[in-house]
Structure formats: C-alpha cells, structure tokens
Amino acid sequence: MNLKFLTLDRVKILLSIWPKEEETNIALAYKGNIEELSPGKLLYYLIAPYQRLYVRLQCLELRLSFEEDIMGIDTKLTIIAQATNEIAQSVCLKRVSIGNIIMYGKFYGKQKIM
C-alpha cells in the first residue's frame, strides 16, 4: 500500500479530529439516509466500524515522527562529536594541563591523582 500522501502533518490532523467513543456509538446507531449527513458526520459514519484504525494511525504517527526525531538526534550528536574533537585537539587546553603539572605537580590543579 502506498501511504506517501499520509504525511506526519496529515496524520496528526486526522488524529486530532478523530471521533470520540460517544460520537462513534452515535454514528454506528444511525439508521437514516447517509446522503442527508453533513461531511463531518458522514466521515464519522464511514470510519466508525473500523475500530483499530485509530491505533493504526497512532502507530503510523510514531513511525513517521521517529525518522524526524532520529535526524534531530543525529544533528546534535554530530555537534557534540565536533566539539569533543576540538577540545581534544586544543593546544590551549594542553598548555593549561602542562601548566598545572608544572605549578602543582598534578594533572588537575590541586586535586590528587589516583
């Protein structure tokens, strides 16, 4: 099944307008002419029999947002890795460490080396 038209934004909108249990029960009990229903009520009437559709939409939302969340985490990890490399290669930091050894005979100021 091709679900490319169901973007994350569209899935969120569908979940936000999804009928509540009371509305679903009313739609299931409706016995009149469906042509007389307004578009919103018609939607409720058509989707009411599909009980697991809401859960499936929630799963689809999780799947679509997962990729977006991973991209955000990946970006943050790249920034952290670059900062770590810059600190590790810093000449100034090495000078401070050497200065601490010369002045205090220890690596981190007056702290004891274990």
Indicate if the pLDDT at residue 27 is higher than 50: yes
What is the residue range of 53's domain? 8-89
**Domain annotation covers residue 84:** yes
**Domain annotation covers residue 20:** yes
Residue 2: pLDDT band by 50, 70, 90 thresholds? low
**Domain annotation covers residue 96:** no
Q: Which residues of 68-79 are buried (b: 16+ CB within 10 A; e: fewer)?
A: eeeeeeeeeeee
**Domain annotation covers residue 101:** no
Structure tokens at 36: 């007389």
User: What tens digit of pLDDT does each residue of 43-92 get?
Assistant: 888 888 887 888 889 998 998 888 778 888 888 899 999 988 887 787 77
Q: Which of the two residues, 21 and 81, has the higher pLDDT score?
A: 81
Indicate if the pLDDT at residue 114 is higher than 60: no
**Domain annotation covers residue 107:** no
Indicate if the pLDDT at residue 113 is higher than 60: no
Number of domains into which the chain is organized? 1
Q: What is the pTM of this model?
A: 0.54
Distance of alpha carbon 58 from alpha carbon 92, whole angstroms: 51
**Domain annotation covers residue 32:** yes
